[in-house]
Structure 1
Amino acid sequence: MELFPAIDLRQGRAVRLVQGDYSRMTVYSDQPAQVAERFRRQGARNLHLVDLDGAKEGAPVNFDTVKEIAAQGGLFVEVGGGIRTERRVARYLEAGVDRVILGTAAVADPDFLQRMVARYGPRIAVGVDAREGKVATHGWLQTTGLDSFDFCAHLRELGVRTVIYTDIARDGGLAGTNLPAYRRLAGLEGLAVVASGGITALEELKELAAMGVAGAILGKALYTGRLRLDEAVKLVQNPSGRGKA
């Protein structure tokens, strides 16, 4: 299983929200590129970036910060947040980002999603953010009537290879992740599932790896010291390769 330490960006800073609530934000660093380099030194091979401002506004806001991090090298970098046009996808890929995550656009414009998958293949992933089992969009500010598990199965049929599935209720709460949801999703053959939201303990990572989950995103638990990245890497990260999830 691959590990993806996360950096959520707001106004050029590394922050964390609780359950996607922009009013419950903690700033952890004014130098996100330094945070990324620290993760690399601790053994990370991958990095998960989210432009929180972009997700809310519908257009990339922290592009320059993402570009700076990607330019440092040594990490497989994926980014999401406000990426809703092909030009924005192309700009990120041209800037050195390895994989672009589509969220709201994948729900609102399936034709656009299919075009991006046809053109860029595995460099396109979809972020499926679930609130009480329903897909949420627009920076988690809106909830649709789409069943999140059915939507993941539909994405597989469209040719999407990687899904980042987040249980919003678990995100930032340090109360553990939704293991039953990932056990169910792991049964979707041909779809690499990356778990996100609430992962707090090494034992959870072992369980996710055992059930066949392709990757796990680590956020607040790293920033608060509940998890040590170097220990997590030694426990579950694939012995070779980069950005395999």
Structure 2
Amino acid sequence: MKVIPAIDLLNGQVVRLHKGKYEEATIYDKEPLNIATQFKEAGFDHIHIVDLNGAKEGKFVNLPHIKNIISDLGISVQTGGGIRKLADVEFLLDAGLSKVICSSMAIKNEADWIAALKKYQDQMILGMDLKDGKIAYSGWLETAEEDTFHFLERMIDEGLQEVLCTDISKDGTLSGPNTELYISLKKAFPEIKLIASGGVSDQEDLILLDEADIDAVVVGKAFYEHHITLEQMKSLHN
């Protein structure tokens, strides 16, 4: 299993939200490069960064900070937040991002999402954020009507290879990941690379996800709140 350290950016600062609520943001560092450097020095060469301003506003507010991390540390970054059209995907890839995560775009602008999927198949990740079993988008403020499994089936037919799935009810709660959800998704769609996100509380959670053959996991708040060390994360990273 691949362990991917996470940085959430809001107004240029490293934060974590509680269940996706912007009014419940905890600031962990005012300089993102400090946190990214810790990840790099611990041996991680790929990190997950979300532009929370972008997710809400539809523009890449925190891109300068992300570009600094890439150029200063020489690590690869997957990012999401604010991506609304094909031109946005192209802009971010040109800016040096290794992979782009789309959630709102996949629902609200499916034509451009599919075009991006076909043009940059290896670099596109579907951000499938679930709220009460439905796909949420626009900063988790709205939910789609289409059945989650049906939507995934259609996207796989279009060439989708990688999914980042977040159970919003678990995000930022340190209450443990929704392992049953990830197991059911992996069983239904074994061909997909599945990245679990939300709720990881300690090393035991990572062990359970690894034993369930989940491909990758994003770790954020558990690290920031000192529930898991970088050494523990690295020990399960391969």
TM-score range, shorter chain: over 0.9
Matches of 1:153 and 1:218, distance apart in 2: 27
Give the C-alpha shift of residue 72 in structure 1: 2.3
Q: Could you list the runs of 5+ residues in structure 1 that have no partner in the other structure?
A: 239-245
* 1:243 alignment counterpart: none
Could you state the TM-score of these two structures normalised by the residue count of structure 2? 0.95
Alignment of 1:1-245 (within 5 A): 1-187=1-187, 188-234=189-235, 236-238=236-238
* 1:241 alignment counterpart: none
Amino acid at match of 1:168: I
Matches of 1:144 and 1:85, distance apart in 2: 18
Give the C-alpha shift of residue 194 in structure 1: 0.1
Q: Percent identity over the alignment?
A: 35
SS of corresponding position for 2:127: strand
List per-residue Cα deviations over 1:184-234 (Å, max 9, x = no partner). Answer: 111212110000000112122122122221110001000000011221211
Amino acid at match of 2:41: R
SS of corresponding position for 1:16: strand
Amino acid at match of 1:64: P
Q: Which runs of 4+ in 1 moved over 3 A?
A: none
Give the C-alpha shift of residue 86 in structure 1: 2.2
Matches of 2:71 and 2:52, distance apart in 1: 20
Matches of 1:207 and 1:150, distance apart in 2: 27
Matches of 1:34 and 1:184, distance apart in 2: 37
Distance change (3 Å), C-alpha of 1:228 and 1:150: farther
Q: Could you list the runs of 5+ residues in structure 2 that have no partner in the other structure?
A: none
Matches of 2:38 and 2:193, distance apart in 1: 27
Give the C-alpha shift of residue 170 in structure 1: 0.2
> Conserved in 2, the CA contact under 8 Å of 1:7 and 1:219?
yes
Matches of 1:90 and 1:123, distance apart in 2: 11
> Conserved in 2, the CA contact under 8 Å of 1:179 and 1:208?
yes
Matches of 2:91 and 2:38, distance apart in 1: 26
List per-residue Cα deviations over 1:47-98 (Å, max 9, x = no partner). Answer: 0000000000122211111111121244221000011122221221122110
Matches of 1:71 and 1:108, distance apart in 2: 32
Amino acid at match of 2:27: V
